[in-house]
Each structure stands twice: as structure tokens, then as C-alpha cells.
Chains A and B, each alone.
Chain A
Amino acid sequence: MSEFLGYERDDGSVGIRNNVVVMSTAPYANDTVKRTAEIVDDAIPITHPLGRCQTKPDVFQTYRTLLGYATHPNTYGAVIIAHAGEIVDGDELAGDVADTGRPSASINIHDEKGVMNALKAAVNEAQTMVRDASEQKRVASDMSKLTFGINCATSDTTSGLCQHKATAGAAWRLIDDHGGRAMFAETPEFFGGESELAERAVNDEVKQEILDRVERWDQRLQATGYDVRGAQPTPDNMDGGLTTIEEKSLGALVKSGDGPIQDIVDYGEKVPDGAGMYIMDTPGHGAESVTGIGAAGAHFMIISTGQGHALSNAVMPTIKVTGNPNSAERVPEETDVDVSEALVGDEAFDWATDQLWDEIEDVVNGKLTMSEALGESQFAIHRIGPST
């Protein structure tokens, strides 16, 4: 298959879903967002604790992340709800969304004279959008349009031995055979494997940038004055047999395969069209790294998990793959693809890649993932500095 059925956007991107998002720019609009989404079937609420009293690096990052979701390939249109005048400006955000050709609306609780009026206005806008979105048909689109996110979740020692190999196989199939893009993240989970990773960079500048960013994370963690163990690896990683962050990292890097790295980008930053593997500089905290990759416009995300995980995203479907037979049995509702036969049975890793690829083809054409069917999702923007 070199084509899939997707939703074409005016900006040239193609979605695998046709979401209407309702989004807050500050915490004081979160309840109005949630209430809007409770009333309007199919509207996706996006809430967060940020967007106010932040310093500029965080303002840029919060804005970039929110705009990434409001203009995601899988997003049809966006209703932006602001509380009052904020440093993350609702009108500006809605304007940037409209510039991509997507329907957008900006609602300000202060200007509407209260949450009741704002709720009514938001419901009216979202209702119109979901009805309009329902009329759009999927059309045949080229697979080169797709960007593939990759993330670990509750890694254990099976991750690097099995499921990450299937994940890498599928990612490089999209890149090499179909001209698509893939992106992985979680910079502290390069500790111990950074030299070999940096050697894969397409040029010396990218190589040095990878090494610098890894070093910066180690310095940030050292500055806490504490041993990072417990945060990395996490208690559930250690339950699964992972002893140090180095061991976790060396396993984690298996999911990126061994091909060239085009670039390492900032949190939530988009990558250029064209084939290739990219890194996003994020923490290893899954909710934050997955949120960042989603903001970059990844169409779907492979969650390559050891012990099983509820990690998921409302805009970017997550396909969960495990090679740990105990996890597949323990949490079947969090297992889209079980490739454990390649670890403890008689199947080859090529078989595991094929299993995952078949599921990917189904999901990009509309099959719901386990998390989508359960309505599971998290949204957590990584923050850089303090509130002020």
C-alpha cells in the first residue's frame, strides 16, 4: 500500500482523523472547555495548567504546542477559549489556525461577560464544526504525507530485545519504502548511548547538537542534588528488571533503528516534509514527550511498551505494541499488537514488524485503537522554567 484514505487540508497536510478540538489558553477556561466537550458529541477537549504568568521561553513553548494541536493534520477545526487577556493570546491563536484554512473560533470568557455566555457561544461554534466535519470524505492520499511518532512506555528488559525492533522496522519501512517521516524523543533516555546515536547524525552540526542536548539534561538532573534513580528508571521500569538509566536508554534507542538522524528539534517543533528520522528534545516523561510529538503533527504514535501502559493522546491515535507475553495477557485492553512470539516463541522479528505494520495500515485508514475506543488520553505540556 502506498496510499491511504485520509482527510485533505487546505495547508497540504492530510489527516487520519477529522477532529474538532476545543482548547483552553489558560487554566481558568478549562472547565468551559470540558463542559463544551461534554455537550458536543465528538468534540475533543484540550486543557492544561499553563498559558498565564509564564516567562517567555514557556510562553513560546505553550503557544507552539497548542497551535500544533489546533493545526494538527488530524484536526478539522478548533474552538479556542480564553479566560481574559492572557500572554498566550486566544485571538492570535485562532487567527493562526484560520491561516491554515481550518475553521476556527475565539471565545473570551471575560468579553462574553461570564462562563455561561461563553459556554453557549463555544457550544454553538463546536456544534457547527462537528456537523461540517462529518460531511468531509476520506480521499486516497500518498503515504509520504505521514509522520510516525515513536515513544516508550513503562519499558522493561523485553522492550529493547523485542518490541522496539518491530517499532524500528515499521518506522524505517515508512521512511524507506514510502517516503514518510518518523520522530522519537526522550533525551534523558539517550544517557549511555549518546555517542553511537550522535554518530548517526547526517552532519557534524546535528551530531554536536545531540551531544550538547544530552549533556544539558545530565547537568539539569545533577543540579537537583539527588540521584535520578526512581525518576529514571522509574519504579515500574525497575520492577520489569531495568537497573539503571543507561540500561533503559540502550534498550530505548533500539526503537529508532540504526539509520541516519536528520535533526534534533525543540519541544513541539514541526519538521520539514520529506523522508527521514528526527529526534525531538523532550524529557522521558511519557505524557510530556507524547504531547510534544503530537504538537509536531505526527499522525499516529507507536507506544512500544514493556509492562503495558495507558499512555495515549486524543488527537494522535496511539498504537500500543508489546513483546512481553505477561503484559499482553495482563492488560489486553492496552495491547493493540502483541509480538511476544518473536521473543519467547518461534516467530522472527520480521514477522513482528509485519504484525505492527498491518495494524498501522488499518489505523491510518480509520480503525480505532484500543485507547480511542476507551476514550483514554492525556495532555501534558513540558514546562521549562518557573511560573511567575
Chain B
Amino acid sequence: MPDRYLQVVEPTDNVATALRELDAGEPVTVAVGGEERDVEVQADVEFGHKIALEDLAAGETIIKYGKSIGNASQDITAGEWVHVHNVESNYGRGDLADDDQVQAVSE
């Protein structure tokens, strides 16, 4: 039986949202579309946070709601906590903008 507290929105998603706290080392079964996926949770995960459903290489697209929510900023293994430490956004990236696009702002 898949764990109802691990929610995947679209079958193409490669992350699941935890609707309970997860423990490191815990084996979980996740419903992905009509299939079931078994992964081992790699670290304690708080309510509402995400785990990877498969191994993801640095630069690979993180998919939720069937769409990109950013890219892996480092290699991520199945069952790993997926959050700000290993995912970067593709919007509002003034830090990556060309100098001529940027207005001078002091830090």
C-alpha cells in the first residue's frame, strides 16, 4: 500500500511532498500516477518538505505539478531531502543577470 502521506501531484513529478514527519532510513512506498515507487528516506524530513523519488544529477530539472520548479544544484539521490540547499530557481536571478541589466544597489 502506498503511503497516503507522501503526495505526488503529477505522474511526471520526481519529488514527493511529505504530509507527516519522515525518519532517516525509513523505507516508504509512494504512489506516482498508477505506479508505486519504493524509496529509502535519507534524512529526517519535516512536515511539508519534499524527498526525491529518483537519483537526480546536478543541473537536472526538479519537477512538481508536472512542471519545472528549478534545477538540482548538486547531485541528489533517491529519498534525499530536496530543498533550498540542493535546488536553485530560474526566476528573479539578478545574481546571474548581465551587468548592463543591473541597476547599482549598495549592499
Contacts and interface: CB of A to CB of B under 8 A. Distances in A.
A225 B49 contact: no
A20 to B, nearest CB: 41
Contacts of A353: none
Interface in B1-50: 5, 7, 9, 17-20, 46-50
B68 A246 contact: yes
Contacts of A140: none
Interface string A221-234: 11111111101100
Contacts of A240: 48
Contact of B50 (A243, A246, A250, A324): A243
A218 interface: yes
A324 B105 CA distance: 38
A105 to B, nearest CB: 43
Contacts of A314: none
Contacts of B91: 191-192, 218, 221, 228, 244-246
A247 B101 CA distance: 26
Contacts of B102: 222-225
A221 to B, nearest CB: 4
Interface stretch (A31-39, A109-117, A156-164, A369-377): A156-164
A218 B92 contact: yes
A46 to B, nearest CB: 31
Contacts of A250: 64-65, 67, 69
B17 A228 contact: no
Nearest to A194: B91
A228 B47 contact: no
A55 interface: no
Contacts of A231: 92
Interface string A310-327: 000000000000001010
Contacts of B65: 160, 193, 250-251
Nearest to B19: A344
A245 B92 contact: yes
A223 B101 contact: yes
Nearest to A160: B65
Given A244-B70, A324-B48, A222 B9 contact: no
A67 to B, nearest CB: 32
A232 B92 contact: yes
Interface string A275-314: 0000000000000000000000000000000100000000
Interface of B: 5, 7, 9, 17-20, 46-50, 62, 64-65, 67-70, 82-84, 87-97, 101-103, 105
Given A221-B94, A228-B91, A343-B19, 18 more contacts: A161-B7, A161-B17, A192-B69, A222-B101, A224-B94, A225-B94, A225-B97, A227-B89, A240-B48, A241-B48, A241-B49, A243-B84, A245-B91, A246-B91, A247-B70, A250-B64, A306-B48, A344-B19
